[in-house]
Structure 1
């Protein structure tokens, strides 16, 4: 079986002043502000998720967001013809960023109250749910309310990354009876060129998502901020 290999995971990465990469791994970001260009990889992941979802124009999509990619997914859906794209998150500044980026509705959720979140999000949908529900947080608790929030014939996209040993529960009879589709979206695959076009054109905007900057010498602090600082959204390492 083919196993994709990545720079920074299987090979030495980019915590360095210079990096050598195969030419077919390289794309031109000429003319794009560096603060925007650094979003190419997460935008490529978001773009691949959109391609996998294959959403119908005029439909509705709920996006659970945690990091920058959730906001990118929401924008690409909204600017790709989806009629209504509410965003749900437990953190106020992420919802404020979503509003600033043009998302038309936000819902505050509670990290520990799945039943309350389900009720609030059902109510926000008009009671019958959403055509598409995108889980972009990596939270098992959030993932478990995605199927109940999906309309008959709708689709759940598992986009967020959980731990390999975590398990999500759902009622298979409900999936069967209501003909729910469950899809997954892994990494960016072949979507870098499309991501760069989206960033260059403004279809995907990144204003206000960067919250922290660190020097290359302080990359350990940068990783600690990503792991532990609740105020961190997008963290940059600047050589």
Structure 2
């Protein structure tokens, strides 16, 4: 059996290649891919921005050739005896034909971070499907832009409830990333720190990650939610997901935006800013929008996209700001995320986030569309 995959052989260049069906190791499984999302990380890799976790023990450069795709949903095609015995992450029994999603991060389970940080994949030896494994080495099929995908032993995967469609389930990894809001709750207190109910929140960047944060802000009791982006298309989507006000940066100046945020908050400033863009420059504007003691969450610059200058006095010390960086999501956030998709299906049009589907032969076209301001979540459907 030959399996087709879209392979990124070098930055900016895809080829459709075929691979033999791999024989399963014990503890492995083979998934028939239904949909695989294009993430901001995939865009960075396509453009040659391949360094991740820079300055840490986990620092890596994405290898080529590679099969991308770490936001995946599919059905079990084949599973080994160990999987039949252990079930999914929550020990739910699984069988051939069951729909599943996966956490793309593989961790060692033994390093300092694995033993001290509950849930978060900060492993010193972390490897990520679609980012860390070259397709030049067996078992080759370690990304979702393929007809079938191989799960190595130790991969975390999760059975999808029957009433959740592939178009919604493919968003599970992104919704797991929105556990960042639960993390901000960890810092909350009535000395006005962290994220508390009724807070004014500014979201910079409403691509799919930002949009799911907007939805979860509503679920968690945020007050006014203000979304900032360059795309009217995405800002319109943000309104569907609960944004109270949207601002297009191409139609306003920085001083106008800062003045507006302060006027909406009685001259105080936003309680929380979520930075979800893939450029570093808006971080400074976000800090300036915060009130004293406000919190800024940085999740947008997953790859090294450059530097900005911060005044430690003006931007950090004087304002008593909390700067929170989160580069990953908890492995135990998938179950809660799927439950939220189910419970709030009538309130939020989650499936509408998937705006475009492309086949393997259209990988380059799909990537270009994902960079367009006229798109939401762009996915690869290997069977188109």
TM (norm. structure 1) is 0.89
- Asked whether 1:230 is paired with 2:366, we answer no
Alignment of 1:63-212 (within 5 A): 63-110=203-250, 113-161=253-301, 163-164=303-304, 166-174=306-314, 175-190=316-331, 191-202=333-344, 205-212=349-356
Which structure features the higher share of helix residues?
A: 1
Q: In 1, Cα distance between the equivalents of 2:295 and 2:273?
A: 6
Alignment equivalent of 2:172, drawn from 30, 34, 40: 40
Kept after mapping to 1: 8 A contact 2:203/2:214: yes
Instruction: Report which of the two structures shows the higher radius of gyration computed on alpha carbons.
Output: 2
Match of 2:115? none
Kept after mapping to 1: 8 A contact 2:158/2:335: yes
Q: In 1, Cα distance between the equivalents of 2:266 and 2:356?
A: 38
For each residue in 1:61-116, what CA deviation from the matched residue of structure 2 results, as whole angstroms up to 9, or x when unmatched? 11112411101111111210112222111211111111112322222222894334
Kept after mapping to 2: 8 A contact 1:114/1:142: no
Match of 1:9? 131
Kept after mapping to 2: 8 A contact 1:95/1:106: yes
Match of 1:19? 149
- Asked whether 1:214 is paired with 2:358, we answer yes
Kept after mapping to 2: 8 A contact 1:114/1:141: no
Cα distance, 1:233 vs. partner?
Answer: 1.9
Kept after mapping to 2: 8 A contact 1:40/1:196: yes
Alignment of 1:47-62 (within 5 A): 47=179, 49-54=180-185, 55-62=195-202
Cα distance, 1:171 vs. partner?
Answer: 2.2
For each residue in 1:130-160, what CA deviation from the matched residue of structure 2 results, as whole angstroms up to 9, or x when unmatched? 1111111122221111111111111111111
Q: In 2, Cα distance between the equivalents of 1:61 and 1:112?
A: 19
Cα distance, 1:8 vs. partner?
Answer: 0.9
Kept after mapping to 1: 8 A contact 2:295/2:322: yes
Kept after mapping to 1: 8 A contact 2:197/2:223: yes
> Could you list the runs of 5+ residues in structure 2 that have no partner in the other structure?
1-56, 58-123, 134-141, 186-194
Cα distance, 1:185 vs. partner?
Answer: 1.3
> Could you list the runs of 5+ residues in structure 1 that have no partner in the other structure?
none
111-120 or 72-81: bigger deviation: 111-120
Which structure features the higher share of strand residues?
A: 2
Q: In 2, Cα distance between the equivalents of 1:106 and 1:46?
A: 20
**Structure possessing the higher relative contact order (Cα contacts under 8 Å, 6 or more residues apart):** 1
Q: In 2, Cα distance between the equivalents of 1:226 and 1:185?
A: 23
